[in-house]
Amino acid sequence: MDLDADQRADDEPTRGDDADDTPVAHKYLAVRDHLVALVAQGLRVGDAIPSERTLCQQFGLSRMTVRQAVDALVTEGVLVREQGRGTFVAPQRMDFEMRLTTFGEEMRRRGMEPATAVLAAQTVAATPDVAAALELEPRAKVHYLYRVRSADGDPMSIEQVWVPAALAPDLLDGGAPPSMYDALRARGLAPEWGEDTLSADDATDTEASLLGLGDRRAVLRAARRTYSAQGATMYSRSCYRADRYSVWVPLRAPRPSLVPRRRAPGGDDDARTDVPTLAADPATPPTTTRHAPAAAAARGERP
């Protein structure tokens, strides 16, 4: 077990066989691959890995080389260090892939049971930033939902959601809908595309408490605008545990994004304008009269 006694022993000089002709990178990879195999085949989430001293003796390596392998797996999210306790198998990280699926669908796809704790569900006046995101007049009425999303009993994210009350006046009549997107579809407001803004941050005290972060405060924030055929339909802000999520973004070769505007019928040069327009792209959602479409990788649905 990689506990305090072992950790103190690990801090003592350990002689290894790093002086042979085998490249250091190969030695480091041997330890790393061994630990990955242990996690995949035997150890469960929360189990301690063998101590660094044990690994040094097993592989005949220096403590520095063994620690390099452990550090790499901590960085990759396979292992987690707990101060004063040791190094353990970390919970599985979720890939934060921006696509049109709900939180519940994503968790069930991974064999996990989703759950939601609703902290608030009410109709309020939109603040200036929310009104701007939803293309509303300041203090227009919006439905507001504040909730914690969990998987297999572990809190994963905190979400705040706003929907224009004029688009769905009865949205909260029966309480908070299990899925906001399903509720919008039922009212003819099917989400068609969206745009995300992602940032890394530290959790507030309230967020850390709700997510059970302890001393680990790193979170991933996502602000999302979701559009239906009627325009901006929902705005949300989410706070994800950084130790349980990693961002997955598909990439493609760059394509021209702007083309000159076509001449007016008749070929009159005076009728021509040099203002560019968006090129047609099958991977790009339809634009509205007020907003250009989001990048293809930023489309998706979370609630």
Q: What is the pLDDT of residues 176-198, one digit of tens each?
A: 999 998 999 999 999 988 888 88
Q: What is the pLDDT of residue 13?
A: 43
Tell me how many degrees the CA angle 82-219-213 measures, rounded to the nearest 5. 40
Say if 271 falls within a structural domain.
no
The C-alpha atoms of residue 299 and residue 192 are separated, in whole angstroms, by 9
Q: Could you report the per-residue pLDDT of 198-209, keeping only the tens digit for each?
A: 899 999 999 999
Instruction: Please indicate, yes or no, whether residues 151 and 287 belong to a single structural domain of this protein.
Output: yes
Question: Between the CA atoms of 44, 48, 49 and 51, what dihedral angle is there, to the nearest 10 degrees?
Answer: -170
Decide which of 89, 112, 144 is a domain's last residue.
89
State which amino acid sits at residue 190. Answer: A
Instruction: Please indicate, yes or no, whether residues 248 and 105 belong to a single structural domain of this protein.
Output: yes
Say if 113 falls within a structural domain.
yes
Say if 267 falls within a structural domain.
no
226 touches 299 (CB < 8 A): no
Average pLDDT, the chain: 77
Q: Could you report the per-residue pLDDT of 86-139, keeping only the tens digit for each?
A: 898 887 766 555 565 678 877 887 788 999 999 999 999 999 999 999 999 999
Instruction: Please indicate, yes or no, whether residues 197 and 75 belong to a single structural domain of this protein.
Output: no
Domain ranges, residue 243 = 94-252+281-298
Does residue 292 carry a pLDDT above 50? no
Looking at the DSSP bridge assignments, the partners of residue 220 are 200, 240
Instruction: Please indicate, yes or no, whether residues 166 and 217 belong to a single structural domain of this protein.
Output: yes
Say if 191 falls within a structural domain.
yes
pTM: 0.59
Distances (CA, A) of 13 to 62, 64, 101, 187, 203: 8, 10, 52, 68, 38
The kind and range of the H/E element at 207 are helix 205-211
Instruction: Please indicate, yes or no, whether residues 104 and 185 belong to a single structural domain of this protein.
Output: yes
The tokens describing 99, both together, are 């696509």
Decide which of 70, 89, 108 is a domain's last residue.
89
Instruction: Please indicate, yes or no, whether residues 47 and 195 belong to a single structural domain of this protein.
Output: no
Instruction: Please indicate, yes or no, whether residues 220 and 291 belong to a single structural domain of this protein.
Output: yes
* 264 against 254, higher pLDDT: 254
* 30 against 234, higher pLDDT: 234
Decide which of 89, 116, 133 is a domain's last residue.
89
Beta-strand runs (E) in the chain: 79-82, 86-89, 94-97, 114-125, 141-151, 154-164, 193-202, 218-228, 231-241, 245-248, 258-259, 277-278
CATH of the domain at 41: 1.10.10.10
Number of domains in the chain: 2
